[in-house]
């Protein structure tokens, strides 16, 4: 498989598990091919934690999942923006993104896609465009949040990448009740994208900006 032409990537997640569901296999492939990957998570969703669990349980699970994917723990940045309240913090989020761009200097940024209907994801998409409009900027898909999605880019992934994605998602034990957390769902979706890509598995992206 041809090596992807990126040396340093920044993956943006509004919430703790967005990266794993949206592009976990691609991130695993990037790391295996020598790309330096940084992860920025903007909310640890303390308000959404099921009753009886520690309020920081998603933060703990996120670090476990990142370790499975292969992200260096020192390259994980987490913020404490309140879940579902991103529109009220748009400017602060933009300033954080601009600062991250200057500090990390990525040549690839993965963010939410334009068609994602979640209010936090919409803010992250729009501010990512403002902050990274001169870079390679791709939007990943979370199918349950998308009424429409432009699959203008496909990344082939291998079974080992899908396995790493599955193992990372399994770290989110507090979220096991969600219908889209089932292995058969995201594996079958990767197979569908693979059919569209003439490969066994793939993950799809909205290509927001290309700069090569």
Show me where the domains of the chain are located. 8-209
Confidence class of residue 175 from pLDDT cuts 50, 70 and 90? Answer: confident
Confidence class of residue 83 from pLDDT cuts 50, 70 and 90? Answer: very high
3 state SS of 70: coil
- Give the pLDDT confidence score for residue 62 in this predicted structure: 97
Is the domain defined by 8-209 classed in CATH 3.90.1150.10?
no
- Give the pLDDT confidence score for residue 13 in this predicted structure: 98
Distance separating alpha carbons of residues 201 and 165, to the nearest angstrom: 12
Average pLDDT for residues 135-152, to the nearest whole number?
A: 97
Q: Is the pLDDT of residue 176 over 80?
A: no
Distance separating alpha carbons of residues 4 and 142, to the nearest angstrom: 22
pTM of the model: 0.96
Confidence class of residue 44 from pLDDT cuts 50, 70 and 90? Answer: very high
- Give the pLDDT confidence score for residue 71 in this predicted structure: 98
Distance separating alpha carbons of residues 9 and 11, to the nearest angstrom: 6
Backbone angles phi, psi at 122, to 5 degrees: -60, -45
């Amino acid at each position: 498989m041809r090596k992807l032409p990126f040396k340093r990537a920044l993956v943006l997640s509004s919430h703790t598990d967005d990266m794993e569901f949206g592009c976990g296999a691609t991130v695993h492939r990037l790391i295996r091919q020598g790309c330096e990957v940084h992860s920025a998570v903007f909310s640890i969703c303390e308000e959404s934690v099921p009753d009886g669990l520690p309020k920081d349980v998603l933060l703990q699970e996120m670090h476990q999942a990142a370790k499975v994917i292969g992200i260096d723990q020192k390259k994980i940045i987490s913020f404490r923006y309140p879940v579902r309240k991103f529109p009220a913090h748009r400017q602060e989020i933009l300033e954080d993104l601009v600062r991250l761009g200057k500090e990390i200097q990525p040549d690839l940024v993965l963010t939410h896609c334009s068609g994602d209907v979640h209010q936090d994801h919409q803010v992250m998409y729009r501010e990512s465009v403002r902050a990274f409009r001169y870079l390679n900027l791709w939007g990943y898909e979370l199918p349950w949040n998308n009424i429409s999605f432009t699959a203008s880019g496909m990344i082939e992934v291998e079974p080992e990448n899908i396995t790493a994605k599955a193992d990372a998602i399994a770290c989110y034990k507090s979220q096991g009740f969600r219908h889209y957390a089932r292995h058969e769902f995201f594996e079958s979706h990767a197979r569908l994208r693979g059919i569209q890509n003439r490969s066994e598995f793939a993950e799809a992206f909205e290509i927001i900006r290309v700069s090569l």
